Amino acid sequence: MKTEWRIFGIVASFLLAVSIVYAVWTDGQLGHVEWAGTTALILSALLCAMCGGFFWFVSRRIDPRPEDRPDAEIAEGAGEVGFFSPGSYWPLGLALAATIAGAGLAFWQIWLLLAGAVAIIFAACGLLFEYYSGTRRTAEH
């Protein structure tokens, strides 16, 4: 986790520096600070700092992974990465539901936004419980 918190820390520092440069530059060009971009850059820096702080906090409490040790061998990182569903259609449904909700938000149609939100909840539950019900149900559950 050392690598992750360092990357987020570097990006947060960069965004903070860019926000200062942006504020000074727009003040010189326009005669006033352009607050929308400055605020967006500062909030982005804070978000990256928050993620970096979380990774730093976690990295102090777990054993170093092979990626974090300079003396590690490549074979130490081998093994199962995780489980990825090979034939699931739920991500497509979730993307479609997010598109509907996004269109409702973009055009400020409350009925479309609510329909998209309900569809997002339905698709997220379908994705989450895919292997606990239906034809893909496993024997140990």
Say whether pLDDT at 85 is over 60: yes
Average pLDDT in the 100-104 region?
97
| Residue 125 falls inside a structural domain | yes
pLDDT at residue 2 in the model = 84
Same domain, 3 and 60: yes
| Residue 37 falls inside a structural domain | yes
Q: Which residues lie below 8 Å from residue 127, measured CB to CB, with a gap of 6+?
A: 88, 90, 91, 93, 94
User: What is the token pair recorded at 47?
Assistant: 């978000």
The model scores a pTM over 0.75: no
Residue given tokens 């990295």 in the structure block? 59
Say whether pLDDT at 77 is over 60: yes
Separation of alpha carbons 77 and 3, rounded Å: 15
Average pLDDT in the 47-64 region?
93
pLDDT at residue 131 in the model = 80
pLDDT at residue 37 in the model = 95
Give the chain's domain count. 2
pLDDT at residue 140 in the model = 58
Same domain, 93 and 45: no
| Residue 72 falls inside a structural domain | no
Among 45-54, 111-120, 126-135, whose mean pLDDT is lowest?
Answer: 126-135
Give me the domain span that covers residue 103. Answer: 89-130
Same domain, 2 and 59: yes
